[in-house]
Chain A
């Protein structure tokens, strides 16, 4: 079974602080996505990284895919209360019976940014 472990599980920080969330696996993924989810809603895609070592920036968010495509990180600079939410990584893998891509999700990191 492929697992994506995220750390930390919970994070509470003050507005303006920086933080990094990690997503780790022993499996190789074809690509890795990051989502943010707010209470009572479905996850919303933030970014997709495809190439090992790839770095993408989305305003104050920086995403990196590990060289071996087994891990990823999300760094937030100068966090704001609006960044509060559940952050999820998701790895794409080829289904064993389907032969086509499917996505499995990480365990989640709950972030709270205090004003």
Chain B
């Protein structure tokens, strides 16, 4: 068990470019979450999956954001036409099962800087 893996760790891009992040959850974890975090603040919910099904997408997300989990294993988060306001840490978490005792395991995140 190597934990939740996110790639890349850092991404610098120019405004208007598209970026894609990858998250590999802990094997056999069927739940996967994406959060966005700005410096010193708590993570903001973006979306989550149960297996390959996307359960909910935050209303705060514009149509420029899309996430997939095609085979219920790894997930990708794409941001199209990046803006400076997209600069943040993008965190992925996985868990084994849905419950109020659900334990989320987080990756180290992808730090995005939009110039």
Contacts and interface: CB of A to CB of B under 8 A. Distances in A.
B67 to A, nearest CB: 14
Interface stretch (A14-22, A54-62, A75-83, A93-101): A93-101
- Among A97, A100, A107, the most chain B Cβ lie within 10 Å of the Cβ of A100
A97 B43 contact: no
B109 interface: yes
B104 A45 contact: yes
Interface in A39-93: 40-45, 48, 50, 86, 88, 90, 92
A101 to B, nearest CB: 5
B44 interface: yes
Interface in B1-31: 4
Given A42-B109, A43-B106, A96-B56, A105 B100 contact: no
A45 B101 CA distance: 11
A108 B101 contact: no
B55 A98 contact: yes
Given A43-B43, A88-B42, A88-B43, A48 B55 contact: no
B91 interface: yes
A50 B99 CA distance: 11
Interface of A: 4, 6, 30-31, 33, 40-45, 48, 50, 86, 88, 90, 92, 95-98, 100-108, 110
8 contacts: A33-B104, A42-B107, A45-B103, A48-B100, A100-B55, A102-B33, A103-B102, A106-B42
